Structure 1
Amino acid sequence: MATKSSGPPGVALRWAGVVAAPAALALGFLWAGGGFSPHRVTQDRLMSEMHASGSYGHGFRRRHAKGVCVGGWFDASGTAAHLSDAAVFRERHVPVVGRFALAVGQPDVADNPATVRSMALRFMPPDAPEWRTGMNDPPVLALRDARDASDQFLTQRIDPSTGKPDPASMNGFLTNHPWLQKAADEIAHRFVSSGFADDTYHSLDSFLLVASDGAKTPVRWAMVPAQSVAPADERTGDPNYLFRNLVAEIHEHPLQWHLMMTLAGAHDAVDDPSQIWADDDRQIDAGTLTLATVESEDGGPCTGISFDPLALPPGIVPSADPILQVRSAAYMRSFFLRSGETRGPSAVSPVMTATPGQVEGKRS
């Protein structure tokens, strides 16, 4: 493990990390709130459009509403330490709190193998600023900026007469946004694994790793499973089968993923999350994530966390990708709203996540 400075420079660096993340979040809030231009898509507008498209609210996250908490640690391989000063790339056994979820607005929706899955993580080095990241299983995002996001939510508005979005409106989105067609096709035809445990999760947006000499390297990252991968199974009658299978697997043994950093090539679009990067880009295995515990969000350790993609430590900075600001501002507003709401029970209950021994103990 690298020796950390305990003098003034080390203290200053740690305080810079503490201040940097809130400052970035404040800029994201101001940007999405229209502070830089009256024509911007605002936080309140996005939340209103999410609600109109079926987001449940009532104490739950506005998107990725159905989820479960997990815990474990991250062991750095050291291979990314020359590209970034972030402590997580050089330390061993960094505590991690995380969350698996489905990208849906309703917390009790039935599990579907085709629904986008997410992994969100909070890395907590004991003596350095933390790092948060939210990842999805598609390799790209079919959005380019705030206007695209707003337009997409508008096409997903629930028709009161049917209780569903208008299919013609949804189909018209890509007609009116042809620059997103390739990304939409990539998402629609992606490989779908059997569950959360054997899925790969992508950062979607690009970031810059900052080395000790100030050199910046554009990257995207992905959590790639160490478990064997299998295609999606037929759906069962259990509406929570994806989560139930994840719980059973973690109870059986810890699950692991490799943090793979993809370095941008000369022709990769760094600031556009809808663009796919080249297949032959250089990759670095930055370390291994191990998840060994699982808990319901009803009192679980991830419930009060916003996995904001701009909560970054020194050594990682945002790219100019505008969706980063949109995600950050939306996460902040969603967190603010749900913090003041009364929350009902989660579909993935404490009984479902308990070990067999814990269940028997409660019965006795």
Structure 2
Amino acid sequence: MKMQSIFTGRILLRIALAGVIPVTVTLLFLWTGGWLAPERLTSDKLVNVLEESSGVHPTYRRNHAKGICVLGRFISNGNASVLSRASLFSRGETAVTGRFAIAGGNPLAPDYAVPVRSMALLFQQANGEQWRTGMNAMPFFPVSSVEAFYQLQTATLPDTSTGKVNPNKLNAFITNHPEVKPFFAWAKQYTPSSSWASDRFNSLNAFRLIDKSGNSHLVRWSVVPTIKADPVSDANKHDSDFLQKDLIQRLGQGALRWDLVITLAQAGDKSNDATKAWPADRKTINAGTLVINQATPQQQGPCNDINFDPLILPDGIAASDDPILNARSSAYARSYNLRTREQAQQAGAKL
């Protein structure tokens, strides 16, 4: 299959740093739906870079283009209601529309070539408010600023003369951004699982929960699987759509579940730097269970026209001071406008 994206395993092997980084660049490019400072970079500029990397695929998202829609509910146990006045954290159930995806802008990419996965969720509260969140199956982000993220993308674009990423450019980027080194160390030992159902998805960015008294609590969250993870198998590598097939097969046998776990920061924990993992001894609260019971193809599916903007938040959840959140919101909107316009143009052409 012709390589159209730097997210594939083949390109990763070609640009392996010191011959020991099997998945790094794939990992470095998740969440490229938008981390740019509007006053310095533009969403158009970032979308253009994404299209240079993955090609132009009209009507699809510019990143995490390949995915599947899911439906379910969140069953709150009420534990998080002491931290947040959002009604979804009161004891009860909230309808959820979501999407599983793999990183990259190529909707035809084989699942086995893209080890980074994502889960995006929309919680629909009874009062009309929504909580939208996009999470990824990794513990922290590689760079600490919007500018560095954009520089990383340009540094790993394939050279026009060779079709390969220039290792000198990547090395220069690492020299200028040593904060990326812990991420490289993690990526070196990373082994993707064989199923979305067994992946843990993390918010990476920090947010604030606001309680009924107006007190603010700095947090991150994760959805933690309830089944054991198995590594990608050789059989998986012969099926370009194994993640979607696995999910549908599992749902045919019953609903899938994850725990929504909220981690509370302590003094000194960074609110604006997603490269810093908070220590493992931080207090956690199990807020309830995410239950997924149905999956449908994404095209014309219930998740297809949802912009999973991380700043669409209900009363009781607020953004932190992480500038990347505003950047994501801006570029998600640009990507959404592009693909919905393309969808309308295609529909009009068929009339």
What is the TM-score with the length of structure 2 in the denominator? 0.84
Aligned to 1:133: 133
Question: How far apart in 2 are the matches of 1:207 and 1:187?
Answer: 25
Report if the CA contact (8 A) 1:32-1:42 is conserved: yes
Letter in 2 for 1:317: A
Aligned to 2:329: 328
* 3-state SS of 1:295 partner: strand
Root-mean-square deviation (Å): 2.1
Question: How far apart in 2 are the matches of 1:279 and 1:33?
Answer: 34
More off after superposition, 100-109 vs 236-245: 236-245
Q: 1:260 to 1:87 in 2, by over 3 A?
A: same
Letter in 1 for 2:313: L
In the TM superposition, 1:97-136 aligns within 5 A as 97-112=97-112, 115-136=115-136
Tell me by how many angstroms 1:189 deviates.
2.8
Aligned to 1:297: 298
More off after superposition, 168-177 vs 61-70: 168-177
Tell me by how many angstroms 1:240 deviates.
0.8
* 3-state SS of 2:261 partner: strand
Question: How far apart in 2 are the matches of 1:344 and 1:115?
Answer: 33
Aligned to 1:193: 193
Q: 1:281 to 1:145 in 2, by over 3 A?
A: same
Aligned to 1:230: 230
Aligned to 2:153: 153
Report if the CA contact (8 A) 1:140-1:273 is conserved: yes
Question: How far apart in 1 are the matches of 2:163 and 2:244?
Answer: 26
Q: 1:55 to 1:92 in 2, by over 3 A?
A: farther
In the TM superposition, 1:219-298 aligns within 5 A as 219-234=219-234, 235-298=236-299
- Report Cα offsets for 1:132-154 as digits up to 9, x if no partner: 00000001111222101210110
Tell me by how many angstroms 1:33 deviates.
3.5
Tell me by how many angstroms 1:184 deviates.
3.4
Question: How far apart in 2 are the matches of 1:99 and 1:301?
Answer: 9
* 3-state SS of 1:120 partner: strand
For this pair of structures, how many residues does the alignment match?
311
Q: Does 1:311 align with 2:312?
A: yes
Tell me by how many angstroms 1:258 deviates.
0.2
Report if the CA contact (8 A) 1:144-1:323 is conserved: no
Letter in 2 for 1:331: Y
Letter in 2 for 1:61: R
Q: 1:44 to 1:83 in 2, by over 3 A?
A: same
Letter in 2 for 1:224: V
- Report Cα offsets for 1:145-172 as digits up to 9, x if no partner: 2101210110122333343433332343
Name structure 1 gaps, 5 residues minimum.
1-28, 35-39, 346-364
Report if the CA contact (8 A) 1:88-1:125 is conserved: yes
Report if the CA contact (8 A) 1:222-1:260 is conserved: yes
Tell me by how many angstroms 1:228 deviates.
2.5
Report if the CA contact (8 A) 2:143-2:179 is conserved: no
Tell me by how many angstroms 1:343 deviates.
9.0
Aligned to 1:208: 208
In the TM superposition, 1:51-66 aligns within 5 A as 51-66=51-66
Aligned to 1:358: none
Q: 1:247 to 1:163 in 2, by over 3 A?
A: farther
Question: How far apart in 1 are the matches of 2:45 and 2:281?
Answer: 40
Letter in 2 for 1:295: T
Question: How far apart in 2 are the matches of 1:272 and 1:33?
Answer: 18
Tell me by how many angstroms 1:91 deviates.
4.3
Q: 1:76 to 1:344 in 2, by over 3 A?
A: farther
Aligned to 1:21: none
Question: How far apart in 1 are the matches of 2:315 and 2:69?
Answer: 26
Question: How far apart in 2 are the matches of 1:230 and 1:84?
Answer: 35
Same amino acid, percent of matched pairs: 38
* 3-state SS of 1:236 partner: helix
Aligned to 2:168: 168
What is the TM-score with the length of structure 1 in the denominator? 0.81
Question: How far apart in 2 are the matches of 1:55 and 1:207?
Answer: 33
Report if the CA contact (8 A) 2:174-2:180 is conserved: yes
Tell me by how many angstroms 1:248 deviates.
0.9
- Report Cα offsets for 1:33-83 as digits up to 9, x if no partner: 43xxxxx11111111222222253411111101100000000011111011
Letter in 2 for 1:197: A
